[in-house]
Every structure is written in structure tokens, then in C-alpha cells.
Structure 1
Amino acid sequence: MRKLIVGVIAGALLISTGACSAADSPDAQAAAQAFVTAAATGASVEACALLAPRARDGLGPAGCPPMLATVPRAPVVSASVWGGEAQARSDADTLFLHQFPEGWRITGAGCHPRNEQVYDCTVGGR
């Protein structure tokens, strides 16, 4: 089931472009790449640990491992950070992240824009 990410990222960009730390963007990009790599290699424990709690809980009774087959395997090429939110891009999809005390976690993966402010995601996205 596809889920939606409403344009919070776009609003955050307009409001808080100065809130991005130079160190945050590489950290968010590294977390997104770690998730994609873990999913691509079938390392379900590692990939599932990188999901935000709400994204993990939203996977339903089947849980996290079956979701890994739906995650595009393209390398992450960039990340943009706005405060505690981030967007990472590959040539195949977009990932959304949130910064928790323990680090960046995936809130949406396999996301594709429906319009300028809404994305459909195969994982998370709420």
C-alpha cells in the first residue's frame, strides 16, 4: 500500500534553510545509503534498525523484512537537511529522514513525487 508524505519538507525548506549544519547533510546521506545498502544485500536486521519507529510500525503484520524487496537499490547521490528533517535522493527514488537522538532514521523510502509537495512512498511516509 502506498503512503503519502505531505509537503512538510517544502515548508521546512522555506522556513528554515539556515538551520542546516554542514555536518548534518553527510550524516543524513550516510544513513540513507546504509539503509539502501542493507536492503539491497538482504541485511534485514540492519535495514529495519534504520527505520524510524513510526515507519517500522506502519509495515503491518508482515513486518520489516518483506519490505526490503520494494526498496530501490540505486546509490544515494545527495541529501538536503532542514533542521531535524532530511531528504536524500538517488537516481531511482527519494528517501525522507528524521534526526533522532541516536541518529538519522528513515521515515519514507521508495518515494516518488506525485506533485511538487506530495510524495507516494512504498515504505513509511506518514
Structure 2
Amino acid sequence: MWAGLQVGLAVAVLCGCSSLSDREDAVAAAARAFEADLARQDNAALCGALAPGTREELEDSSKTGCQQAIGDSDLPAAADVRRVDVYGRQARAVLDSDTLFLSAFPDGWKITAAGCDPQPRKPYKCVVKGA
């Protein structure tokens, strides 16, 4: 029995498993940090919070560097996280005036789309998004 418990604990540690509540808290913290960086107009921090594919798409579509592109993106300011939904390594953070989509990476949750508005019977329309 002790060996089985040790193996189970080792697997949990190695896979980085955490409770749903812990993941929801981490997503909410990433969303709040992104919004705080947006309020401070800290474009370097905003770019650092983007998932690699989202950053690449932003730079490619704007034909400028990330910091310039994110500064010109007209993202809505939000303050309060109202709901977080986590689906495995993907998440959605619904804020008072924005919706963010995130993915889990080895160094934490990263923004895959921001400035997103729901569209009736269609996917969200997002100001910043990955390819």
C-alpha cells in the first residue's frame, strides 16, 4: 500500500497536477496581472504575458514589434474577474468588460486571445488572438 501511495504522489508531482481551484486561481491571477499591465500601459509586460503564437500573430498582422502592436491594439480595460472556466490546459476568464482566453505553459498561464466579445452563434471576436 505504501509503495502505491508513493507512486501516486510521484506521478502527481511529475505531471504538475493541481486541483481545479488552484488552476482557476492561477488563471484569475494571470488575467488580473494582464489587466494591471494594460492599465499601466506596460507594453513589455503585456507582450511577456502573451502565448508565443499570439505574440507572433500580433507582430505578423501589424508588421511591427509586439510592444508597438499591443500599444496600438485598443484593448478594453477591465478590472474585475467575474468568472473563470478551466478545461484542461485551456481557460477562459470573463471580466467586467473583456474576455481573455489562456493556455497553460511550463512558465504559467499565457494569454492566447484578449479583447474578446461573444458573437451570437459564432466564435468570439477578439482584438488580439493567435493564429
* Whole-Å separation in 2 of the counterparts to 1:56 and 1:125: 7
State the alpha-carbon separation in 1 of the partners of residues 23 and 121 from structure 2: 24
Secondary structure of 1:122 counterpart: strand
CA distance in 1, matches of 2:130, 2:124: 8
- Encode CA deviations 1:53-99: one digit per residue, 9 max, x unaligned: 01000112223223235221111412111110000011211100000
Q: Which amino acid aligns with 2:32?
A: Q
Partner secondary structure for residue 21 of structure 2: coil
**RMSD of aligned residue pairs (Cα, Å):** 1.9
- Which whole-Å CA distance do the structure 2 matches of 1:122 and 1:20 have between them? 31
Which shows bigger deviation, 40-49 or 50-59? 40-49
Cα separation, 2, equivalents of 1:107 and 1:54: 8
Aligned residues of 1:71 and 1:109 also touching (Cα < 8 A)? yes
- Higher-Rg structure is 2
Listed as ranges, the matches of 1:16-35 within 5 Å are 21-35=20-34
Of 52, 61, 64, the match for 1:62: 64
Q: CA deviation at 1:20?
A: 6.5
Which AA in structure 2 matches 1:67? Answer: I
Identical counterparts, % of pairs: 38
Distance 1:125 1:111, change over 3 A: farther
DSSP 3-state at the match of 2:41: coil
**Is residue 2:119 matched to residue 1:120?**
no
Aligned to 1:75: 79
Distance 1:45-1:25 versus aligned 2 partners, 3 A rule = same
Q: Give TM-score scaled by structure 1 length.
A: 0.77
More helix per residue: 1 or 2? 2
Provide structure 2 residue ranges, at least 5 long, that are not aligned to the other structure: 1-17
1:46 alignment counterpart: 45
Aligned residue-pair number: 108
Task: Give 1:93's match in structure 2, choosing from 94, 98, 120.
Answer: 98
Stretches of structure 1 lacking an aligned partner (at least 5 in a row) = 1-18
- Higher RCO (CA-CA < 8 Å; seq separation 6+): 1
Output the TM-score relative to the length of structure 2.
0.74
Could you say if the C-alpha distance between residues 118 and 62 of structure 1 is closer, same or farther in structure 2, counting changes exceeding 3 Å?
Answer: same
